[in-house]
Structure 1
């Protein structure tokens, strides 16, 4: 796969938040972001909300709020490690062909968290590149469903 074909754009920035209602009040009521989608992902152990701009375009980055459903979830552990406060948990890169990108990254030596993509927000296919392969930053790769969630 050619380097220019790997990524489409930055899909979203994932923010871990201890309290979803408080985070939504801040981002929607105070900052003016628009709630595009909200769901609970039991497999990932999170309550998540995708936020966009007023005129959310196909390649405009979003904000993803992630509140833990339990302290044992990855986001719960992240918040605990961060002194009970939230913070930037990951950056997500959008891809058009998850299987090809997944294979290319593995061939190039990246360590992915899952052996195969999992189901993410709104039916997206996701995987994560381990922070040990990226200099300390958790990177998500995401292939949106055919009908985008915004």
Structure 2
């Protein structure tokens, strides 16, 4: 793991919470985009040494909608920046870690991502986030 890349925070509405992150906390909005294959709209906030990723469900079948229904708004996952995500997945599996994604999938900003199952990570949902294919990252 190279670093903590971002912390994902589930929210019901990015529009409703953006003022808190910008005006109250003084963070800058980097970008907003939709990631259809994950059923989310995301807003990345500049947290200095890492980003905060606000995750809004696009529809009721979104995993984020299910998370909010069950647990409410709040921290959803912690993402580690990695290089060679396929190798990291295999390495974790050889160490007994169960993966939600056994192969990487497209994530926000063009990153390749894969999630570890929380039952293999002491109740924490961790994401591997590989941006090595993105210029300037």
Partner of 2:8: 14
- Secondary structure at 1:27's aligned position in 2? helix
Please tell me the root mean square deviation across aligned C-alpha atoms, in Å: 1.3
Q: Report the TM-score when normalising by structure 1.
A: 0.86
Alignment of 1:34-73 (within 5 A): 34-53=28-47, 56=48, 60-73=49-62
Distance, in Å, in 2 between the alignment partners of 1:146 and 1:87 is 29
- C-alpha displacement of 1:96: 1.6
- Secondary structure at 2:134's aligned position in 1? coil
Distance, in Å, in 2 between the alignment partners of 1:24 and 1:148 is 26
The one of 47, 69, 81 equivalent to 1:80 is 69
- Secondary structure at 1:113's aligned position in 2? coil
Runs of 4+ in structure 1 off by over 2 angstroms are 145-149
Distance, in Å, in 2 between the alignment partners of 1:79 and 1:130 is 18
Distance, in Å, in 2 between the alignment partners of 1:103 and 1:76 is 30
Unaligned runs of 5+ in 2: none
Alignment of 1:1-150 (within 5 A): 7-53=1-47, 56=48, 60-82=49-71, 85-144=72-131, 145-148=133-136
Unaligned runs of 5+ in 1: 1-6
Total equivalences in the alignment: 136
Distance, in Å, in 2 between the alignment partners of 1:103 and 1:44 is 23
